[in-house]
Amino acid sequence: MNPVGTTAAPAAPAGDAAARGGYILAEALDADPGAAAPDVVLVAAGGEVPAALDARRILQREGIATRVVSMPCAAWFRQQSRAYRDTVLPPGAPATVSVGAGAEVGRYQLLGEAGGTAGNTALASCDRGLFDTAGLTAERVAATARAALARAAGAARAGERGRP
Protein backbone atom coordinates (compact mmCIF):
# COMPACT_ATOMS: atom_id res chain seq x y z
CA MET A 1 0.00 0.00 0.00
CA ASN A 2 1.20 3.51 -0.78
CA PRO A 3 1.56 6.18 1.90
CA VAL A 4 -1.55 8.27 2.45
CA GLY A 5 -1.96 10.95 -0.20
CA THR A 6 0.11 9.23 -2.89
CA THR A 7 -1.03 7.04 -5.72
CA ALA A 8 1.87 5.49 -7.56
CA ALA A 9 1.07 3.68 -10.77
CA PRO A 10 1.65 -0.04 -10.44
CA ALA A 11 4.37 -1.62 -12.54
CA ALA A 12 2.65 -2.35 -15.85
CA PRO A 13 3.41 -5.64 -17.55
CA ALA A 14 3.62 -5.29 -21.33
CA GLY A 15 0.03 -6.44 -21.88
CA ASP A 16 -1.60 -4.63 -18.96
CA ALA A 17 -2.60 -1.25 -20.37
CA ALA A 18 -5.06 -0.59 -17.53
CA ALA A 19 -2.14 -0.46 -15.08
CA ARG A 20 -0.85 2.52 -17.08
CA GLY A 21 -3.99 4.43 -16.10
CA GLY A 22 -5.29 4.95 -19.63
CA TYR A 23 -5.16 3.19 -22.97
CA ILE A 24 -6.72 3.12 -26.44
CA LEU A 25 -9.83 0.96 -26.24
CA ALA A 26 -11.17 1.55 -29.77
CA GLU A 27 -9.15 3.20 -32.51
CA ALA A 28 -10.56 5.71 -34.95
CA LEU A 29 -11.45 4.37 -38.37
CA ASP A 30 -10.09 7.13 -40.54
CA ALA A 31 -10.56 7.47 -44.28
CA ASP A 32 -7.22 9.31 -44.30
CA PRO A 33 -4.56 6.81 -43.17
CA GLY A 34 -1.98 9.62 -43.16
CA ALA A 35 -3.82 11.58 -40.49
CA ALA A 36 -1.65 12.35 -37.46
CA ALA A 37 -4.53 12.13 -35.00
CA PRO A 38 -8.22 11.25 -34.83
CA ASP A 39 -10.75 14.06 -35.17
CA VAL A 40 -12.02 13.49 -31.63
CA VAL A 41 -10.98 11.42 -28.61
CA LEU A 42 -13.62 10.25 -26.14
CA VAL A 43 -12.17 9.57 -22.67
CA ALA A 44 -14.26 7.33 -20.43
CA ALA A 45 -13.94 5.04 -17.44
CA GLY A 46 -16.03 2.24 -16.00
CA GLY A 47 -19.75 2.40 -16.68
CA GLU A 48 -19.36 5.31 -19.11
CA VAL A 49 -17.40 3.23 -21.64
CA PRO A 50 -20.50 1.78 -23.39
CA ALA A 51 -21.89 5.28 -24.05
CA ALA A 52 -18.50 6.34 -25.46
CA LEU A 53 -18.31 3.27 -27.71
CA ASP A 54 -21.87 3.84 -28.96
CA ALA A 55 -21.10 7.53 -29.59
CA ARG A 56 -18.00 6.45 -31.55
CA ARG A 57 -20.22 4.36 -33.84
CA ILE A 58 -22.51 7.36 -34.43
CA LEU A 59 -19.63 9.73 -35.12
CA GLN A 60 -17.77 7.26 -37.35
CA ARG A 61 -20.92 6.89 -39.51
CA GLU A 62 -20.83 10.69 -39.92
CA GLY A 63 -17.21 10.54 -41.10
CA ILE A 64 -15.73 11.81 -37.82
CA ALA A 65 -12.67 9.72 -36.94
CA THR A 66 -13.25 8.90 -33.27
CA ARG A 67 -10.97 7.15 -30.78
CA VAL A 68 -12.19 5.86 -27.41
CA VAL A 69 -9.72 5.90 -24.53
CA SER A 70 -10.40 4.00 -21.33
CA MET A 71 -9.09 6.04 -18.39
CA PRO A 72 -9.47 3.99 -15.20
CA CYS A 73 -6.97 6.20 -13.32
CA ALA A 74 -5.97 9.65 -14.60
CA ALA A 75 -3.36 9.98 -11.83
CA TRP A 76 -1.56 6.85 -13.01
CA PHE A 77 -1.87 7.98 -16.63
CA ARG A 78 -0.17 11.31 -15.83
CA GLN A 79 2.78 9.34 -14.37
CA GLN A 80 3.49 7.69 -17.74
CA SER A 81 6.08 9.01 -20.17
CA ARG A 82 5.13 11.96 -22.38
CA ALA A 83 5.59 9.68 -25.41
CA TYR A 84 3.04 7.17 -24.08
CA ARG A 85 0.52 9.87 -23.08
CA ASP A 86 0.86 11.51 -26.52
CA THR A 87 0.26 8.14 -28.19
CA VAL A 88 -2.98 7.65 -26.27
CA LEU A 89 -4.13 11.31 -26.27
CA PRO A 90 -2.47 12.79 -29.37
CA PRO A 91 -1.80 16.52 -29.03
CA GLY A 92 -2.90 16.98 -32.67
CA ALA A 93 -6.45 15.76 -32.02
CA PRO A 94 -8.79 18.71 -32.59
CA ALA A 95 -11.10 17.70 -29.71
CA THR A 96 -11.04 15.53 -26.61
CA VAL A 97 -14.23 14.86 -24.65
CA SER A 98 -14.50 13.44 -21.14
CA VAL A 99 -17.46 11.08 -20.82
CA GLY A 100 -18.37 10.96 -17.15
CA ALA A 101 -21.35 10.11 -14.99
CA GLY A 102 -19.60 10.98 -11.74
CA ALA A 103 -16.78 13.27 -10.77
CA GLU A 104 -14.31 13.88 -13.58
CA VAL A 105 -11.54 12.45 -11.36
CA GLY A 106 -8.67 14.20 -13.08
CA ARG A 107 -9.78 13.57 -16.66
CA TYR A 108 -10.87 17.17 -17.19
CA GLN A 109 -7.23 18.32 -16.98
CA LEU A 110 -6.45 16.17 -20.01
CA LEU A 111 -8.98 17.80 -22.34
CA GLY A 112 -7.15 20.82 -23.72
CA GLU A 113 -8.80 24.00 -24.97
CA ALA A 114 -11.15 22.29 -27.44
CA GLY A 115 -12.36 19.74 -24.92
CA GLY A 116 -15.78 19.17 -23.52
CA THR A 117 -17.62 17.03 -21.03
CA ALA A 118 -20.67 14.88 -21.48
CA GLY A 119 -22.49 13.64 -18.46
CA ASN A 120 -24.15 14.55 -15.23
CA THR A 121 -21.55 15.16 -12.53
CA ALA A 122 -24.14 14.55 -9.79
CA LEU A 123 -24.70 10.98 -10.94
CA ALA A 124 -22.42 8.30 -9.54
CA SER A 125 -24.42 5.14 -10.22
CA CYS A 126 -23.50 2.75 -13.03
CA ASP A 127 -27.12 1.82 -13.76
CA ARG A 128 -27.57 1.99 -17.57
CA GLY A 129 -31.22 3.09 -17.34
CA LEU A 130 -30.26 5.83 -14.91
CA PHE A 131 -27.54 6.93 -17.35
CA ASP A 132 -30.19 7.32 -20.06
CA THR A 133 -32.57 9.16 -17.71
CA ALA A 134 -29.81 11.52 -16.54
CA GLY A 135 -28.68 12.28 -20.08
CA LEU A 136 -25.48 10.24 -20.43
CA THR A 137 -26.47 8.74 -23.75
CA ALA A 138 -24.50 8.03 -26.89
CA GLU A 139 -26.40 10.80 -28.65
CA ARG A 140 -25.45 13.34 -25.98
CA VAL A 141 -21.81 12.26 -26.07
CA ALA A 142 -21.81 12.54 -29.87
CA ALA A 143 -23.40 16.01 -29.68
CA THR A 144 -20.76 17.12 -27.17
CA ALA A 145 -18.03 15.82 -29.49
CA ARG A 146 -19.51 17.72 -32.45
CA ALA A 147 -19.66 20.91 -30.35
CA ALA A 148 -16.03 20.48 -29.25
CA LEU A 149 -14.99 20.01 -32.90
CA ALA A 150 -16.92 23.15 -33.87
CA ARG A 151 -15.14 25.13 -31.13
CA ALA A 152 -11.79 23.82 -32.36
CA ALA A 153 -12.60 24.77 -35.96
CA GLY A 154 -13.72 28.24 -34.86
CA ALA A 155 -10.52 28.75 -32.88
CA ALA A 156 -8.44 27.62 -35.88
CA ARG A 157 -10.28 30.04 -38.18
CA ALA A 158 -9.78 32.89 -35.70
CA GLY A 159 -6.08 32.03 -35.47
CA GLU A 160 -5.74 32.12 -39.26
CA ARG A 161 -7.17 35.64 -39.19
CA GLY A 162 -4.75 36.65 -36.46
CA ARG A 163 -7.35 36.95 -33.70
CA PRO A 164 -7.10 35.37 -30.26
In this prediction, residue 17 carries a pLDDT of: 85
CA distance 44 to 53: 9
For residue 161, the model assigns a pLDDT of 53
DSSP labels, 81-134:
-HHHHHHHS-TT-SEEEEE-SS--TT-GGGS-TT-EEES-TT-----HHHHHHH
pTM for the structure as a whole: 0.74
The sign of the torsion formed by the CA atoms of 21, 27, 33, 39 equals negative
pLDDT of the residue at 2:
39
Task: Give me the pLDDT at residue 106, please.
Answer: 47
Mean pLDDT, 10 residues at a time, the chain of 164 residues: 47 70 90 76 91 96 94 91 93 89 51 45 38 74 92 74 52
